[in-house]
Amino acid sequence: MHLTLHATTRSAQRGVPLEIVKAIYWYGHEQRAPGYATRVTLDLNAIHLAAADASELCRKLERYQGTYLVLTDDQRIITVAHHGARLFH
């Protein structure tokens, strides 16, 4: 798993800890995104897979349901975001 500088910055700005990014990367639901990218989303199935034997982790992951990563074809994480959330500067 490799995060670009942009992904690291966005993860910090959006309050998504590295352990959540790892759970999304390893257990999230993949779908194609524009520009030959892949979007990996933390959905309920991913939460249950990641926290199969740890109810505490399950509760923590539920807080981040809908959070997603965008990956390049070579599996580099290029951004981290929350589904439906728009950040205005």
Residues 28, 42 contacting (CB under 8 angstroms): yes
In a domain, 59, yes or no: yes
Residue 15 pLDDT = 92
Query: What range does the domain containing 11 cover?
Result: 2-81
Helix (H) or strand (E) holding 49: helix 44-50
In a domain, 44, yes or no: yes
In a domain, 38, yes or no: yes
Residue 89 pLDDT = 35
In a domain, 89, yes or no: no
In a domain, 70, yes or no: yes
Q: What is the DSSP string of 8-47?
A: HHHHHHTT--HHHHHHHHHHSEEEEETTTEEEEE--HHHH
In a domain, 30, yes or no: yes
Structural domains in the chain (count) = 1
Going residue by residue through the chain (89 aa), what tens digit of pLDDT does each one get? Answer: 899 999 999 999 999 999 899 999 999 999 988 888 999 999 989 888 888 867 778 888 889 999 999 999 899 999 999 876 544 33
Residue 84 pLDDT = 63
In a domain, 87, yes or no: no
Going from the C-alpha of 9 to that of each of 6, 19, 32, 62, the distances in angstroms are 5, 15, 23, 22
In a domain, 86, yes or no: no
